[in-house]
Amino acid sequence: MVGLLDMERERWRDTAIIWNLLVDKEYRRRGLGREFICRAIAWGVNHNLRALTLETQTDNLPACRFYQAMGFQLGGIDDHYYTNHDIARREVAIFWWYELSEAAAS
Ligand SMILES: CC(C)(COP(=O)(O)OP(=O)(O)OC[C@H]1O[C@@H](n2cnc3c(N)ncnc32)[C@H](O)[C@@H]1OP(=O)(O)O)[C@@H](O)C(=O)NCCC(=O)NCCS
């Protein structure tokens, strides 16, 4: 196995949350992550969902750059998500959105 996408439908808000996306270090920057996201988008569109969501840490810059490159938008931050001192610890939660209505129209 060289990669993993773990996502779950959240019926109460018509979205799917990506809990984890991982590509083996040896296989990164070859388009596998993009392929996972394309499949997640297609799955969400097929299930009439309105958006994909996920959370990353501010100290995971590669992941932030990846999701930005995939078209995700910043939804918000929560500086008390992991501890009471997330800013001091330099690890703050960022929430990302990908609106599927645009993907469905194209
Ligand atoms: C984030 C991750 C899944 C990306 O997977 P990947 O297969 O390397 O991604 P892709 O090759 O499809 O990259 C697509 C685009 O995203 C951007 N990107 C990907 N990795 C990047 C990095 N390290 N720095 C900057 N931009 C990056 C680039 O624009 C890239 O296009 P390009 O290679 O043509 O420049 C992978 O780095 C990973 O498994 N990281 C560790 C686990 C993790 O942090 N997961 C996310 C938290 S949920």
Stretch 51-80: mean pLDDT: 97
pLDDT of 55 above 80? yes
How far apart are the CA of 104 and the centre of ligand 1, in A?
Answer: 24
Structural domains counted in the chain = 1
Query: What residues flank ligand 1, with Cβ below 6 Å?
Result: 20-23, 28-34, 54, 56, 60, 62-63, 65-66, 69
Q: What is the CATH number of the domain that holds 49?
A: 3.40.630.30
**pLDDT attached to residue 72:** 98
| 3-class DSSP assignment, residue 14 | coil
32, 75, 105 from 62: Cα distances, Å = 14, 18, 29
Instruction: Give residue 59's domain range.
Output: 3-105
Residue 39 pLDDT level (bands cut at 50, 70, 90): very high
- Other residues' Cβ atoms within 10 Å of the Cβ of residue 41: 20
Residues 48, 104: Cα–Cα separation, whole Å: 9
* Cα 93 from Cα 52, distance rounded (Å): 17
What are the backbone angles phi and psi of residue 55, rounded to the nearest 5°?
Answer: -125, 140
Residue type for 62, please? P
Which residues lie below 8 Å from residue 63, measured CB to CB, with a gap of 6+?
Answer: 56, 57
β-partners of residue 77 are 94
pTM (whole model) above 0.75: yes
58 C-alpha vs ligand 1 centroid, how far in Å? 15
- pLDDT value at residue 105: 75
- Share above pLDDT 70 across residues of the chain, in percent, rounded to a whole number: 99
Residue-wise pLDDT for 72-96, tens only, equals: 999 999 999 999 999 999 999 999 9
Mean pLDDT, residues 34-44: 98
